[in-house]
Amino acid sequence: MKLLLCLPLLGVCMRVYAVDPFEDFHKYGELSEEEIHELHKGEFLYGDIEFGFIANSGNTKNSSFKLQSNLYQDFQHWRNQFKLDGHYADEENAETGVDDETASRYFLSAQTSYKFGVDNESFFLYGDYEVDEFNGREYTTTFALGYGNRLFEGRKNTVDFTVGPGISMYRVENETELEPGQKRVERGELLRLSLQWERNVSKRTRFNQDFSYAQSVSGLGGRGFSETSLISQVIEGLSLKVSYTYRYNSQPEEDKRKVDTELGVTFVYSFD
């Protein structure tokens, strides 16, 4: 007997002291991201939270858990963004009957931007922290600051970017044998670039492309992230999100791969 309980990356948009930005999706699809932020100026917090759980039993027994969020604060001179991405999976060992952890990754980031001048110019401060049990590093963290602006704004498309210097640091896990000259804790300077492209395909469909890349200038390599997603309304209050995530590390630890990819299908439910 095989029992499959599947909520494929079930996304739930939550209102936290604010109106959900997905409250009226067809209207949302007609607005640029800047206009959406304008609607929520001064509110304490708004955004979305996605949750997913998959469980299998029978010939194989495994489970997978995913939590992802993207939250904003927008004030007169400051805009803050907080991201969380967590993924955990385990599978029962057929010989021992013990659950073996097969995936465990948690990523946190925060960015605060000070608005100045005209249009969408800003000065930003960014930080992230990642723990991945299977990449050979105990943790990886990045801090950067610099300049942000909008490259393009049209009727259906907006393209935003940030660029600036920073520092990175990571610690190699104790189980990994160090190479000659390698330190357990490495730190160095970097240059970080991020781009966000949003296209309103139709009144009910929106395309997003998020990209960031941090290149070390201290010989520690580069780290990249890309998420391509399409969000489309299925019925009133319920939308479907399909996403493809690509993570890149130019200098992985021994026996680790440079690239990790993830394909996700998310149902986003919006409510008051």
pLDDT given at position 165: 97
- Residues 51, 226: Cα–Cα separation, whole Å: 20
Strand duo 122-132 + 3-7: pairing = unpaired
- Phi/psi of residue 90, each to 5°? -140, 160
Q: What does pTM read for this prediction? A: 0.76
Closest by CA to 226, choosing from 205, 195, 188, is 195
| Distance of alpha carbon 123 from alpha carbon 141, whole angstroms | 21
The terminus-to-terminus CA distance of the chain in angstroms comes to 40
Alpha helices in the chain, H assignment, sequence order:
25-28, 33-39
What is the per-residue pLDDT for 239?
A: 75
Q: Is 103 exposed, middle or buried (0-12, 13-18, 19+ CB in 10 A)?
A: middle
Query: How many Å apart are CA 169 and CA 188, to the nearest integer?
Result: 7
| pLDDT averaged over 10-residue windows placed end to end, the chain, 272 residues | 36 38 42 62 72 67 80 86 88 72 87 84 94 86 94 87 95 79 87 93 88 92 93 77 90 84 75 41
Residue 4 pLDDT: 33
